[in-house]
A and B are shown apart, each in its own frame.
Chain A
């Protein structure tokens, strides 16, 4: 726990962990009738004007419709909605996972609970490529069932927002199917259970949404940069990184583009040099 608490007051650095919780809450405010962003994060409507759709959900619905041409107005609507997302993540890489995904917040709560009880071994031997197999399986399942399979039934985002919508509707005495509420709640509990047993297995290895965004990391403008020469080789950065990015090994290089980096900024805050050695930088 001591390494989790990073003292940033002395360095005057903006506390990134606080900032990213604030960004995430900005998108959850739709349930408080402040509609910055409406809808589940698989598809949403920003400031009542910009339509957005998740890249993986776009591919799934494309496969489910079995229509890869761009004729007809419907196809272009989805394309217009997915382009801003691609644009955003060409700049920010996989920042979605660390900054917007509400599961990250729920998983962090689970992590704290586990730490209080006992610290379990957090390593596991499932290759990172399993996620790509998952993507293929889900795309195939979508094509066969003609329904966006993962996004509709299993997605953590869809189910979390369905569950929250259900709670919201029922608390305002509006009709909502209890089956949907129980199903979505159950799926979320399964995710939390998985997190309890295998910390961040979902985020690191399996999540197809994150895997797609991870591919953007290779070309995104935002990336991790390392300054030369100051590293005391304490490997605090590796310990605070819950996505399993090997930072200490690569510290001699000018930067790191790992598909699992979610730009949460924990390594920046966790580093003994407090942000002088490890930096997140946009552009050259």
Chain B
């Protein structure tokens, strides 16, 4: 009787919970509490900026490199998770498992957010895919998407020389064209781009100035994008000055203040 009076969990003794069971319950409780606490702490760190080209959506799902056309890919992929695992081992962690969205794509691999985890084009996932949903092809022939530069946000288009994107690009000079002028080094990503998204991550602007859209979406907006590109280059000095200083610079400086995304 004396020991039970001292026990701080006396009520548990009355409900008939044994010590072993109590230990079990407390371990589960601590684990749950810890994991939920860990998750809520993580959320606070990331401050989401509106991405570049906010009016243009990605236009579908960006699949891992070498993926078959969407319909055939879904039929072939048995969502075994080999590519996810291989990507993790290669330390890119770009391939994620699809959750919400299209029910037909549930559980299939895709590249979620290139601002955090771009594809490194190591080409290990197509080499190891057991189903053939990812084909073995050369780096240059990958068609994950097309990177688009937001000319309103890019340093190189607004009076600076930056080059970060071209340095990050695994295909280098094949993809990047530069149109140097007094308004900066003006990078342009041509259609040899495979859409790996390394430029998206290494853009120094808060929230990145590059966006990767699917090749289908690009073919839709291609004429608009090229018109925009030509129009900017043909503007007179005064018109360009007005655009850069009245519209673009405040936006760029505002984004520059955002917390930088975590580099892994």
Binding site for B on A (CB under 8 A): 30, 35, 38-45, 48, 51-54, 57, 60-61, 64-66, 73-78, 81, 145-148, 151-153, 158, 161-162, 165-166, 169-170, 173-180, 183
Contacts and interface: CB of A to CB of B under 8 A. Distances in A.
Interface residues of B, number: 43
A153 B98 CA distance: 12
Contacts of A169: 88
Contacts of A174: 88, 93
A interface: dominant SS: helix
For the complex, would chain B's binding face be called helix, strand, loop or mixed by DSSP majority?
loop
Interface of B: 35, 38-39, 42, 68, 71-72, 74-82, 84-86, 88-89, 93, 96-100, 104, 106-108, 112-113, 116-117, 128-133, 135-136
A147 B75 contact: yes
Given A44-B80, A165-B81, A177 B98 contact: yes
A214 to B, nearest CB: 20
B99 A43 contact: no
A78 B89 CA distance: 23
Contacts, number: 152
A38 B97 contact: no
B132 A74 contact: yes
Contacts of B93: 174-175
A147 B104 contact: yes
Contacts of B113: 175
When A and B form their complex, which 3 residue pairs have the shortest distance between CB atoms, in order from nearest? Answer: A177-B99, A43-B80, A77-B132
A49 B154 CA distance: 43
Nearest to B116: A175
Nearest to A150: B78
A39 B78 CA distance: 11
Contacts of A180: 97-99, 106-107
